[in-house]
Structure 1
Amino acid sequence: MGRIDYLHDPAAPPANSVVPSVVALVQNDAGQVLMIKRSDNGRWALPGGGHDVGESISDTVVREVWEETGVKAEVVDMSGIYTDPGHVMQYDDGEVRQQFSICFRARPVGGELRTSNETTEVRWVAPADLSELDIHPTMRLRIEHAMDRRQTTPYIG
């Protein structure tokens, strides 16, 4: 399924859904960031996805990181909530989703890198090399906020 992101674009279609979702800044002991190349838009991003009924939000983080990367992660804390109604994502099936994303910090506790049907590449990236990747501006903002260790937000999982 393809995806087009619109950010404050007057030509954007109107949203017809909102789905709570998560992304995770997973950093290893060397400080590298776990990044995925998305199969739906070809851009680099933090791993993440939609919250399912019956899950705690931290369960969603752990599941999505595992599904998309093969890495087992443990949630450390939350770094931000992003709900800009001017950011919508249009999918091939007609869904136009308004952004609702919660960003977490996490650490790897096992697993091995692998791709999935949602990822074409998965890799550990040095923070200094992130600027070389094609990353949507809204995802870059999440990464910058999550890497700023002065900002922490407690959460109840």
Structure 2
Amino acid sequence: MARTEYYDDPEAPEPNSLVVAASAVVTDDQERILLQRRRDNDLWALPGGGMEMADSLPGTAVREVKEETGLDVEITGLVGTYTDPRHVIAYTDGEVRRQFNVCFTARVTGGELAISDESTELRFIDPEDLVDLPMHHTQRLRIQHFMEDRDRPYLG
């Protein structure tokens, strides 16, 4: 199923669902950031996804990282909350969602890097190499907030 992301676009379809989601900035010992190239839109993104009824938000981030990358992680902090109503995601099945995303920081505790059916590529990427990657600006914003090493999480 393909998806199209809109931001502040008057042509964007009206949302018909609100999804609570979590993502994670996972770093390795060289301070590189784990990104996946999404199969549904061919853009690079942090691992993450929707919360299930039995999940906590940190648990959602841990589960999604495992499902999408094969890695086990431990949550180490909070980057911020991302709830901008100008960001709309439309799927080919007719769902048009607004997402309430909480982005965490995490470190690898085990597992092996493995591509899932949701991605075509996984890489730990040096922050200075991020500028050349095709990525939605909402993903770049989360990474930027992480890189700023803020005293407090971003609330937006």
TM-score range, shorter chain: over 0.9
SS at match of 1:65: helix
Aligned-residue offset at 1:11: 0.6
Matches within 5 A, 1:6-155: 6-153=6-153
Q: Alignment length, in residue pairs? A: 153
Q: Which runs of 4+ in 1 moved over 6 A?
A: none
1:27-51: CA deviations, max 9, x gaps? 1111010000001000000000000
SS at match of 1:20: strand
- Name the CA distance, whole Å, in 2 between partners of 1:151 and 1:67: 30
In the alignment, structure 2 segments of 5+ residues that lack a partner are none
In the alignment, structure 1 segments of 5+ residues that lack a partner are none
- Name the CA distance, whole Å, in 2 between partners of 1:78 and 1:16: 28
Normalising by structure 1, what TM-score? 0.94
| Percent of aligned pairs sharing the same letter | 50
Normalising by structure 2, what TM-score? 0.95
- One-letter amino acid of the counterpart of residue 145, structure 2: H
- One-letter amino acid of the counterpart of residue 137, structure 2: P
- Which structure dedicates a bigger proportion of its chain to strand? 2
SS at match of 2:66: helix
Structure 1's 3 and 18: CA in aligned 2 closer, same or farther, altered over 3 A? same
Match of 1:4 in 2: 4
Aligned-residue offset at 1:114: 0.9
